[in-house]
A and B are shown apart, each in its own frame.
Chain A
């Protein structure tokens, strides 16, 4: 047994030279040593408020943050390296694992990038485009429900989290019916979709839209005028307009600062120009504004899906080109040409011309971009994923200093990032 060691507490009074502390004007000078003394606190990588594996090294002056160094990369899997070693189609399941809270939107963004490189993005049949938009917007609702739920839970409102998760479950049911999987959807294919809408799906989706609006209203009642929530979020984590642009933020975080940049409007893809929706903008750029923007975006997504379901055209879901999309099975078994197409597609992948493109889609978290540099053939020579969470997190080292430790949870919750996408 070792002998217990005596702990020597430093006597704070011994730092002060003689005189009573509060009365003198020289107290600040005498305390200067204490005020300047900082403490390093490690937050994460495994902390409930970091939503995954983000680590922030905080330098604290009392309870105020004087310096924050975010450390990322704990979930790095080398997706870009993997992409260089497989065909374009084989990479689709990897996009599920980027922003794993909105896999459908990632699938759509990735195949749109490849289709842009191949030059077939203008030939997509209307039904395919409508279904893709529905997928994107369902993913947005799902992601924002989780984002707001976790945000509220981080600042102490547990009920909201349970409330929004109940609703999210219905989106997973829709995903399961549509794609066969709840999370890892891998629904899109280059030049089309894996399968058409199953019977009864449209009705189920409409039913869900009716229910989610009620849920959003209830969430709004729980939070928007909640005194505690407002105290925790209003004027906390203010990102001014210039700073948001300078740091390249995107998605609700950029729009929360009042910058009108929504790729669905400014660089539209699919059938977004035909749809009627508005872009939600904040004014101050604090955590509360970002929350409000997400709430409004969910309502707009509901609007978009309603329009898509109303106008959903009949027809094929794939481009009519056997060299891009797998031919139907019965033709593969009976016809020579389709058999060759199938064989070439499976063994070598789609034939992509040499060239380079960048395609950015407005995903729930922000601009998910794919830069593809191709030397021709079935595999990308270089595929870079511009992930919104990665860029959004880079603002932390600038944003956190000056805030209290307790504000971190509110700020992180309001930035709504996913580490799977950040670290790739």
Chain B
């Protein structure tokens, strides 16, 4: 028999008190907000170890561009034993843009946090390998921010090996166009040294 998620949320609230907001229910889902983003790892560890929330479904982020605090990071936490899930949110101001990682609580947070860093530019303190994941290393922007245009911004690719097109004319394996027959078109027909 699944436990209603509100039970778990009440236990978190009784442990952390005023740090946790009153739970909001919408469309059958329970959402709580953590007031101090610096303690998110602590709350998550408590949820996992004491309440059996062993399965992290997803972490995502929202950009409230123009509002303060700008970022919201959203954790979808569930428990296989209790058969329920709830949502933990926390707000981070733009000047900080950093919160503790939860990779030591759930390993699956690794790639989710890398994606948030890549797409939104929110850093995770203590993450073992905080690199870009979808965009390439050295890309200068964070494309899911609201101030990034949909059409993108022009960037160059400094790490790509071939930035100029390879020369075609006169290359050793290039057929000569306009020749009447296949024998003369073939690159092997051109003997080295006789071309000039």
Contacts and interface: CB of A to CB of B under 8 A. Distances in A.
Interface stretch (A35-43, A70-78, A274-282): A70-78
Contacts of A381: 62
Nearest to B109: A248
Interface in A380-407: 381-382, 384, 386, 390-391, 393-394, 398
Interface stretch (A4-12, A330-338, A355-363): A355-363
Tell me the interface secondary structure of chain A in the complex.
mixed
A78 B136 CA distance: 13
A39 B62 CA distance: 41
B142 to A, nearest CB: 11
A272 interface: no
B188 interface: no
Contact of A369 (B26, B29, B58, B132): B58
Contact of B62 (A72, A259, A373): A373
A59 interface: no
Given A85-B150, A245-B80, A371 B134 contact: no
A381 to B, nearest CB: 7
A328 interface: no
Interface band, chain A: 35 or more
A371 B75 CA distance: 11
Nearest to A391: B108
A398 B107 contact: yes
A390 B27 contact: no
Interface string B66-80: 000000001010001
Given A246-B108, A358-B58, A373-B62, A117 B27 contact: yes
Contact of B57 (A72, A81, A259, A386): A386
B94 interface: no
B150 A82 contact: yes
Nearest to B115: A390
A416 interface: no
A163 interface: no
B84 to A, nearest CB: 9
**How extensive is the interface on chain B, given as a class?**
35 or more
Contacts of A367: 57
B47 to A, nearest CB: 14
A254 B107 CA distance: 15
A69 B134 CA distance: 14
Contact of A81 (B111, B112, B143): B143
B121 to A, nearest CB: 14
A116 interface: yes
B26 A357 contact: yes
Contacts of A386: 57-58, 60, 76
Interface of B: 2, 26-27, 29, 31, 54-58, 60, 62-63, 74, 76, 80, 83, 85, 87, 106-108, 110-112, 115, 119, 132-136, 143-144, 148, 150
The 8 A-B pairs of least Cβ separation, nearest first, read A248-B108, A73-B134, A384-B60, A394-B111, A386-B58, A76-B134, A246-B107, A382-B62
Interface of A: 72-73, 76, 78, 80-82, 85, 116-117, 119, 243, 245-248, 259, 261, 266-267, 355-358, 360, 367, 369, 371, 373, 381-382, 384, 386, 390-391, 393-394, 398, 423-424
30 contacts: A72-B133, A72-B134, A73-B132, A73-B135, A80-B144, A81-B143, A81-B144, A81-B148, A117-B27, A119-B27, A243-B107, A245-B54, A245-B80, A246-B106, A247-B107, A355-B27, A356-B74, A357-B27, A358-B57, A358-B58, A358-B87, A360-B57, A371-B74, A381-B62, A382-B62, A384-B58, A386-B57, A386-B58, A386-B60, A394-B108
